[in-house]
Structure 1
Amino acid sequence: MTIADLFMIFAVLTGPIIAVQLTRYLDSTKEEKERKVIIFKTLMATRAYNGSWDHVEALNRIDLEFDSNNKKEKAVITAWKAYHDLLHSRSINIEQWDIKRAELLVELLYEMAKVLNYDFDKTHIKNSSYAPVVHRENEEENTALRRGLLQVLEGKRGIPIKFSDMQKPEK
């Protein structure tokens, strides 16, 4: 038996194993990237509605899917930590907080876009979302209604009743 025969036997025996392992590695890499893309797409789609459940869930998944040991992804983790820190901050007034929150969210999305090979600049990320005014108004009204109802249920407020245009019943 020659060395060429031994190499042929080795190739025949190990070829399928190597092919399966390579396929598994490629599938795993593809799934990891897809999970990151889902987070990015969710955050981009909900950036005008930063209080939505989907937005919050996507933010909370960043730590699970992005790796601070990966040189490219470290910037995403750093941006997320800065944004997360601000979200828990009560040390600045609400107007400044909201401006800073928008800036840090744009920075986070920009870093994610770079890692995932999307060609978005910060201006596009900041200004290209669409949020109808009626959605904001509906949310404000719903919040006011819930707060008012809670005050009534807690006994802190009564229900105003106004009598007007009272007519005598017909006989």
Structure 2
Amino acid sequence: MTAMDVVNIVAIIVGPLLAVLITRWRDNRKENIRRRSDILEALMKTRPLRLSFEHVGALNLIQMEFFGKRSVIDAYKRYRDHLSQDFPQGDGAGKRFVETRDDLFVELIHAIASDLNYKFDKKDIEKLSYGPVGWENDESAVRMIRTLAINVLTGQQPLPVSIRPPNAPGQMFPPPPP
């Protein structure tokens, strides 16, 4: 057997194995990028809806999906630590708290986008999102109804009931029988 025969046999065995390994590596890399892009997409999509399940779920995946990405993890920790603080009471403290929260969120989005090679301007991240006021009003109403229902059902608050006679012009019930 000549040296060329040995090289051919090695090439026949190693070539396909190497091709499979390279393909698997590329597929894993694409999948990692896709999952990271999904997180960025969810956070961008829910910027005005930070209490949504999708937004919170995306935040909770950052630590795992961006493991080893120091700039993203550091920005995430700063934002998470700020979210974990109690909302301050007092003169202007609440406004400063919200401004800091928003700044930290923009920093997080920017760090994720940079890691994925997107070139977003921080001002655009902050200013170019849309969320109808009606969504916030609906969310506030649902929260208020939920709180009231829990308070009534747990006995912390009574359910007020009042009896009123129906108005004649728009009477909702038929008149009593004669």
Partner of 1:163: 164
Aligned equivalents of 1:117 and 1:15: distance in 2? 33
What letter is aligned with 1:58?
Answer: A
Partner of 2:49: 49
Q: Spell out the pairing of 1:123-142 with structure 2 (5 A cutoff).
A: 123-142=123-142
Between 151-160 and 94-103, the greater mean CA deviation after superposition: 151-160
Aligned equivalents of 2:166 and 2:76: distance in 1? 59
Q: Which runs of 5+ in 1 are unaligned?
A: none
Moved over 6 A (4+): none
Q: Give SS of 2:37's match.
A: helix
Partner of 1:21: 21
Between 2-11 and 115-124, the greater mean CA deviation after superposition: 2-11
Q: Spell out the pairing of 1:29-48 with structure 2 (5 A cutoff).
A: 29-48=29-48
Partner of 2:8: 8
Q: Give SS of 1:159's match.
A: coil
What letter is aligned with 1:124?
Answer: D
What letter is aligned with 1:122?
Answer: K
Aligned equivalents of 2:10 and 2:150: distance in 1? 75
Q: Which runs of 5+ in 2 are unaligned?
A: 169-174
Q: Describe the superposition over 1:72-120 as per-residue Cα deviations: whole angstroms up to 9, x where unpaired.
A: x210000000001011112744332222111111100000000111121
Between 132-141 and 94-103, the greater mean CA deviation after superposition: 94-103
Is the 1:106–1:126 contact (alpha carbons within 8 Å) kept by the matching residues of 2?
yes
Normalising to structure 1: TM-score of the pair?
Answer: 0.88
What letter is aligned with 2:76?
Answer: W
Q: Give SS of 1:11's match.
A: helix
What letter is aligned with 2:101?
Answer: R
Q: Describe the superposition over 1:127-149 as per-residue Cα deviations: whole angstroms up to 9, x where unpaired.
A: 11110011111111111112222
What letter is aligned with 1:90?
Answer: D
Normalising to structure 2: TM-score of the pair?
Answer: 0.85
Is the 1:49–1:55 contact (alpha carbons within 8 Å) kept by the matching residues of 2?
yes
Aligned equivalents of 2:77 and 2:44: distance in 1? 18
Q: Give SS of 2:96's match.
A: helix
Partner of 1:96: 96
Q: Spell out the pairing of 1:64-103 with structure 2 (5 A cutoff).
A: 64-68=64-68, 73-90=69-86, 92-93=88-89, 94-103=94-103
Aligned equivalents of 2:167 and 2:43: distance in 1? 54
Q: How many residues align?
A: 167
Identity %: 35
Aligned equivalents of 1:165 and 1:152: distance in 2? 27
Is the 1:152–1:159 contact (alpha carbons within 8 Å) kept by the matching residues of 2?
no
